[in-house]
Structure 1
Amino acid sequence: MRILVLSDEPCKLLWEYYRPETFKGIDLIISCGDLPADYLTFIATVFRGPVLYVHGNHDAKYDQKPPEGCICIEDEIFTYKGVRILGLGGSHKYNGTRWQFTQKEMTKRVRRLWYPLFRNKGFDILVTHSPAFGVQDGKDWAHQGFRVFNELIEKYQPKLFLYGHVHLNYGDHARECRIGNTLCVNGFERYVIDYKMPQ
């Protein structure tokens, strides 16, 4: 399954310079947040597959105008073709606006998911806006990762961890890294991943 990951900065090739073959071979699109609703709505209109999203720290405006034709996977496990996808948007709290959380608040969100995690026997892909703590996150307060993401990855060992928030042009941040057996991918702007489906 080929997944197109988006985050933080619209890609002109997918929008302004869109061509019918743009999404050829893509099976699933996942947004890791901080993208204009109109941008995701356009993509959902021209793409013949699901467009999933979580909120970034700048996506409070989705409350009034959410991306149309897209599926919000906040605080739930969405299953697509047998692949279990857990969504947890938002960033570390730095100015108190919506979709910002302290370490404790994000941990509480995860704890409330105990039953879906139990019922689904874990998950295969973790989708967040922020990175995990100490793994390609920022040194500043706003871009610090969440410790509970590290715990989720250690316990459930998903194949993929998709996130954004830390722009690759901020400094020396890798597009890909690993936490154990989990491939961690920063979806800044756009990135394509070939996901090996379970047998």
Structure 2
Amino acid sequence: MRILAVSDTESTALWDHYNSNKITNTDLILSCGDLNPQYLSFLVSCTNLPLLYVHGNHDEKYDQTPPEGCICIDDKIYVHEGIRILGLGGCMPYKPGKYMYTEKEMKRRLLHIKHQLIFYRGFDILLTHAPAQGLGDGDDHAHQGYQTFLGLLDKYQPKYMVHGHMHLQYDHSLQRTMQYNNTQIINAYEKHSWEY
């Protein structure tokens, strides 16, 4: 299965200069948040592919204008063709905002989906907006990753964790991909595709 992940910045190659050949053989689109809802709707309408998303810290506009044809998987496990995808959007609070969570609040969110983790026996992809602590996160509070995510990676050993929030131009030392135990960490900034 070929997966395209998008996050934070709308790709001009996909939106302004769309050509169906640019998404050849793609089977699923994942959004890590902070994107224009019309952009996500555009991708779905042009490709006729399923698009799963979580909220970024700038996505309060989705409450009034949700991305049409897309599926929000925040706080749930969604199974697509046998692949279990757990969605946990948001980032650390640095100002008032709906999709910002302290470490304690993120742990509380996990308690609400504990039954899903048991029922599905874990997950294969962790889809988030913020990174895990120490795995491609930033030094400032707004871009600090969650320790809760590290616990999930350690316990369930998913094949992938896909996140956004960390714009690659913030720091040239940021990596697009990295390995953490059995999990490949992918920073989906703008766009990135891979074979599952």
Q: In which range does the TM-score fall when normalised by the shorter chain?
A: over 0.9
In structure 1, distance between residues paired with 2:20 and 2:121: 38
Summarize deviations over 1:125-167 as a string: whole Å, max 9, x none.
0000000011110000000001100000100000000000011
Which residue of 1 is the match for residue 159 of structure 2? 159
Q: 1:22 offset after TM fit, Å? A: 2.4
Summarize deviations over 1:28-70 as a string: whole Å, max 9, x none.
0000000000100100101122011000000011000010010
What TM-score does the superposition give when structure 1 sets the normalisation length?
Answer: 0.97
1:184 aligns with 2:171: no
Which residue of 2 is the match for residue 122 of structure 1? 122
Alignment partner of 1:29: what SS?
A: strand
In structure 2, distance between residues paired with 1:65 and 1:151: 34
Structure 2 counterparts to residues 108-119 of structure 1, below 5 A:
108-119=108-119
In structure 2, distance between residues paired with 1:82 and 1:144: 32
In structure 1, distance between residues paired with 2:24 and 2:117: 33
Which residue of 1 is the match for residue 2 of structure 2? 2
In structure 1, distance between residues paired with 2:180 and 2:124: 14
Q: Show structure 1 runs of 4+ deviating over 2 A.
A: none
Q: 1:94 offset after TM fit, Å? A: 0.7
In structure 1, distance between residues paired with 2:34 and 2:58: 5
In structure 2, distance between residues paired with 1:55 and 1:20: 26
Q: 1:20 offset after TM fit, Å? A: 2.5
Name the aligned partner's letter for residue 152 of structure 1: L
Report if the CA contact (8 A) 2:7-2:33 is conserved: yes
Count of aligned positions: 195
Name the aligned partner's letter for residue 29 of structure 1: I
Summarize deviations over 1:158-181 as a string: whole Å, max 9, x none.
000000001100002111111111
Q: Identity of aligned pairs, percent?
A: 48
Alignment partner of 1:99: what SS?
A: coil
Structure 1 vs Structure 2 CA RMSD? 0.7
Which residue of 2 is the match for residue 95 of structure 1? 95
Report if the CA contact (8 A) 2:20-2:47 is conserved: no
Q: 1:14 offset after TM fit, Å? A: 0.6
| Consecutive unaligned residues in structure 1, runs of 5 or more | none
Name the aligned partner's letter for residue 160 of structure 1: Y
Structure 2 counterparts to residues 20-169 of structure 1, below 5 A:
20-169=20-169
| Consecutive unaligned residues in structure 2, runs of 5 or more | none
In structure 2, distance between residues paired with 1:97 and 1:73: 19
In structure 2, distance between residues paired with 1:160 and 1:2: 13
In structure 2, distance between residues paired with 1:42 and 1:60: 19
